[in-house]
Amino acid sequence: MRKILFISCLALSQTVWGDPETDLAKKLNNPVAALISVPVEYIVDKSIGALNQGKVTQFKFSPVLPFSLNDNWNIISRTIVSYVEQEEIPTKEMSESGWSDIAESIFFSPKEPKKNGWIWGVGGIFLLDTASKDQLGSGKWAMGPTAIGLKQQGSWTYGALAHYLKDVSGDDERADIEQAFLQPFMSYIISKSKTTFTLQSESMRDMDKGETSSVATFQVGQMFKIGSQIMQARIGVRHWLDSTTFGPDGTTITAKLTLLFPK
């Protein structure tokens, strides 16, 4: 019998509830869990540019690959690459589409939570100058530290993901990269219906320009099967709280489909 679980992609937890499907959902929602997953996300940003007429559509691929280092530690690889459609940026007559830069994060994480319930991971993030067109990438290679910490108490999960990114090489004529990123989150799961509600924000501080952008997201999702393939679909609403000069504004809807490959 098929059981339907309602969950959010970024509700993070690792506590065992005694339900194998719920345990799988929780592993999916923990960025440093030992679960292979391939998410594909659809994101739209609007009101970009000096005349607020620009639009950016992203199809973001974010495969997660865990590796066992030894009896106590895992290495988690999280890769983000996006196909971007950019319309009327920087002017009404200009549009571009293609692949953006690749962001690669590597986390070292204990296989078991700490005695106080905290789950954590530390490592590095790397920005690769791989964009198919200059307008869709930074023209820089960058790197820096990254870390995540989260805890679950009953039906609640809360924590934060952070990284710092600084360019190390690339086109000297392109803008320098020095960014600080923070993503706090909290979620609540109804264990009987397997419904999860998640609220999170993503804030990026451009240290070079002295500007900050921030977007808040509310998400709900569902896990299901087609044949033997386990998948998760989710939908979310996100709103820009603060933006850089000529950056995006307003409220948009995002959608995500994740393929799961449990061991």
Rounded percentage of the chain residues whose pLDDT exceeds 90: 54
Give the integer Cα–Cα distance in Å for 125 and 101: 13
Give the integer Cα–Cα distance in Å for 138 and 43: 19
Query: Which residue has better confidence, 231 or 15?
Result: 231
pLDDT score of 17: 42
pLDDT score of 33: 84
pLDDT band per the 50, 70, 90 thresholds, residue 84: very high
Give the CATH number of the domain where residue 56 resides.
Answer: 2.40.160.40
Give the integer Cα–Cα distance in Å for 160 and 104: 18
Give the number of other CB atoms < 10 A from CB of residue 252.
19
Work out the average pLDDT over 175-180. Answer: 95
For the record, the structure tokens of 152 come out as 């679950």
Query: Which residue has better confidence, 24 or 173?
Result: 173
Give the integer Cα–Cα distance in Å for 136 and 157: 35
Query: Which residue has better confidence, 49 or 112?
Result: 112
pLDDT score of 165: 97
Give the integer Cα–Cα distance in Å for 206 and 245: 11
**What is the maximum alpha-carbon separation in the chain?**
60
Work out the average pLDDT over 91-117. Answer: 87
Mean confidence (pLDDT) of the chain: 85
- Smallest CA-to-CA distance from 135 within 98, 173, 109, 166 is with 98
Q: What is the pTM of this model?
A: 0.84
If one counts the domains in the chain, the total is 1
pLDDT band per the 50, 70, 90 thresholds, residue 90: low
Q: Which domain holds residue 54?
A: 5-261
- Does the pLDDT at position 205 exceed 80? yes
